[in-house]
Chain A
Amino acid sequence: MSPIKLLAQFFHLERKDFLRSPSFDTSLVILILMGLGALYFAVVFVGLGIGIYFIAEEVAPQNPFGWINQGLWVFWLADLIFRYMGQKMPITKIKPLLSMPISKSNIVVFSMLKSVVSPFNWLYLFLWIPLYIVLLQQNLDPLGVTTWILGVSVLFLANNFLNLWANNSPWVFGIAFGALVIAGAGKYFELFDLKAFSGGLFEALYQTPATLLAAMAWLAFLVWGSYRFFLAGMFLDDRFSVKAEVARTTKMAWLDSMGRMGIFLKNDLRLITRNKRAKMAVLSGIFFLFYGLLFFTNALEVYEGAYWKVFAGIFVTGGFLFSFGGFVPSWDSSYYPLMMTQKITYADYLKAKWWLIVWATLASTLLASFYALMGWEVYLAVLAGAAYNVGINAHLVLLGGAFVKTPIDLTSAKKAFGDKQAVNLKTMLIALPKIALPMGIYALGQWIWDAQGGYLLLIGLSLLGFGLRNPVLRWIERIYKKEKYDTIQAYKPKS
């Protein structure tokens, strides 16, 4: 088969893989979100490309072009770091290809080509092209500007391969990291000036067009090196295998005294500590803790006003509730049939989850004590938010869970945000009162009495919800039972 035809075949497979994946609609939503993200960056880049030279003229009127060159290393480094965090070698489905009459080098070449069409690369066109046009109109040498723009894009494209290589080879990563440390130390101890180095390096692309050849050689070296590296690793047990992690056994005997609830809580704690996806959820819950700073410090003008304080109180203490609780019972989706055939009643199961959410909310509230430094009114908003989360929202997330029918792949860290749940109408309707209702309750209290009255009304209703937890949980249990068969069916691996 000719290489071109083979490439066409590969693309054909990719397209089918996407269109026929069991989570197609999920992927589509993510793709749309990513598209919007890309659009955002494209707009920002176009703006930057047009504007940066004029900004440089403001800041450094004597030598705007030199100023750009001096700062370019920061941008180059940021690009590399972002790639390291976000861009992975797109090679997952090599298994069925290895035994086919396709040369290994073709598979590697295809994977590398695929990496080139990543947004990490083509988005830069939105920056380089307008910048090139602007620079041409300045009083600069057109040939120099051309070699400069080509050289810079080549250096950024080279990052693509440097990242792929470093991402998979600890050696290359070590060398790259070491170079960065030395550069950082050199700057810190003022041994040499990165700004001048960067200025000189990029300036050379303009002054001496032949320097472009050096940049291209650097790219060629990285392409060749990573190609050899991946080719040598084209075995199932080598570069592309997932290494089993060493299991840590934890007894957690302190939970044994809690009876049946302790059994579930033990399992939930193991779930959280041993699965990437669950860890991500808890981490994002911790981020929520600091979300209030945006509101309470009046950092953003739109967020001034008392309703937003209630809003912030809910979010600050409810991070875990939203990020973990919102996906109950999907956390247990991969072994749901087991749970349904063991001596487990939905009542015990739900109660354990409820306690976990309540504990986490209380812990968040404790951690959020630092908001007290911003005045008692801010702290009252946090406390009212915590009370509402425990008294009302804990029930609402469990209720919403009865309709969550999206299985969770525990081992993948991806998709922690923006799951299909987001487009499930029923869960959206249940999500609304989690945030809008407390704002409304506060408004009512404030209207009848005053701000304090609003908070007290919120806390009072939350206490009522807390007191009614047993009948409410029993009612939720009945809904779970009704949804049981549908849930089992939805959680089945679609293969």
Chain B
Amino acid sequence: MIHIEQLSKSYSGTTVLDIERLQIPSGTALGLVGNNGAGKTTLFSCLLDLIKPTQGHITNQDLRVDQSEAWKDFTSAFIDESFLIGYLTPEEYFSFIASLRAVPQSEVDALMLELAPFFNGEVLGQKKYLRDFSKGNQKKVGIAATLIGKPSVVVLDEPFANLDPTTQFRLKDLLKKIASQGDTTLLVSSHDLNHVTEVCKRIVVLSKGQVVQDLETNPSTLAELENYFAQQAPDASIG
């Protein structure tokens, strides 16, 4: 259970995040959508204790993230390239993460085998350092690393962006599989309403730092969301 209450973050007077209450039960796949500046990455950064909220706090399985560090044992995240170590090969990076989480190499190898379709032959055995990979392939490495050691909370910021269409579909299948097993809390932000509604059972819409919608996914959710965002765009009224 992730519990957020009275959480706000402001920078010199401008509030960028203001959430009264948000509860995410364990095992939920939650999609976070919203336009640029809605506060998605800020929320994730607060959850990962990378920035200090102005008010309130987040608890992750009853641990206050800003007081305890024990949540790091079962939480993993890929937000951006700053979660990659540029001078390592993907294999070395995976072993580094695995050794930090005390996961044996054999388990990493098994996971790599499982992820082979997702990698599409472009990640392993490339004789290249991560800094020399394309953005899309870097993202594959970052996402794969979050799955090492089966953490019970996985946070992915914009996982579909920069991926080629085939990989997007394979990632969608991968995330759906993880979500269906029900033992992982999956937090995914995305601009792709289609993908996110397929993967997640619950969608939270952020706008200017506030939760404006909180929906259980059903067949009409996608249409509702599309309608919502179409009205947000100022250009939509023209013509």
Chain A: residues with CB nearer than 8 A to chain B? 244-247, 249, 260, 263, 266-267, 270-271, 274-275, 334-338, 340-345, 410-411, 485, 488-489, 491-493
Contact = CB atoms under 8 A, between A and B. Distances in A.
Given A247-B128, A247-B129, A270 B87 contact: yes
Interface string B44-81: 00001111100000000000000001001101110110
B226 interface: no
Nearest to A252: B92
Nearest to A344: B100
Contacts of A345: 69
B128 A343 contact: no
Contact of B91 (A249, A337, A492, A493): A249
A410 B87 contact: yes
Interface string B78-89: 011011111111
Contact of B50 (A260, A337, A342): A337
Nearest to B149: A343
B83 A338 contact: yes
B132 interface: yes
B50 A338 contact: no
Contacts, number: 85
The 3 A-B residue pairs whose C-beta atoms are closest, nearest first, are A244-B132, A274-B87, A338-B83
Contacts of A411: 86, 131
B131 A335 contact: no
Q: Give the interface size class of chain B.
A: 35 or more
A410 to B, nearest CB: 7
B119 interface: no
Given A340-B50, A485-B51, A334 B128 contact: no
A35 B176 CA distance: 60
Contacts of A338: 82-85
B99 interface: yes
Nearest to A348: B100
B83 A337 contact: yes
Contact of B89 (A247, A336, A491, A493): A247
Contact of A493 (B73, B82, B85): B82
Given A244-B132, A249-B91, A335 B86 contact: yes
Contacts of A246: 127-128
B137 to A, nearest CB: 12
Contact of B132 (A245, A343, A410): A245
B72 A343 contact: yes
15 contacts: A245-B132, A246-B128, A263-B100, A267-B88, A334-B85, A335-B85, A337-B48, A338-B82, A342-B72, A343-B72, A343-B100, A343-B102, A410-B86, A411-B86, A488-B50
Interface of B: 48-52, 69, 72-73, 75-77, 79-80, 82-89, 91-92, 96-97, 99-102, 126-129, 131-132
Given A337-B50, A341-B75, A270 B86 contact: no
A341 B77 CA distance: 8
Contact of A334 (B51, B76, B82, B92): B82
B49 A340 contact: yes
A267 B82 contact: no
Nearest to A411: B131
Contact of A341 (B48, B87, B102): B48
Contacts of A491: 82
Contacts of A266: 96
A244 B91 CA distance: 17
A413 B49 CA distance: 33
Contact of B97 (A270, A275, A342): A342
A491 B83 CA distance: 13
A334 B79 CA distance: 13
Contacts of A249: 89, 91-92
A342 to B, nearest CB: 5
A343 B127 CA distance: 28
A483 to B, nearest CB: 12
A485 B86 CA distance: 22
Contacts of B126: 247
Contacts of B51: 485, 488-489
A88 B82 CA distance: 30
Nearest to B126: A247
Contacts of B127: 246-247
Nearest to B142: A338
Contacts of A274: 87, 129
Contacts of B80: 337
A491 B82 CA distance: 10
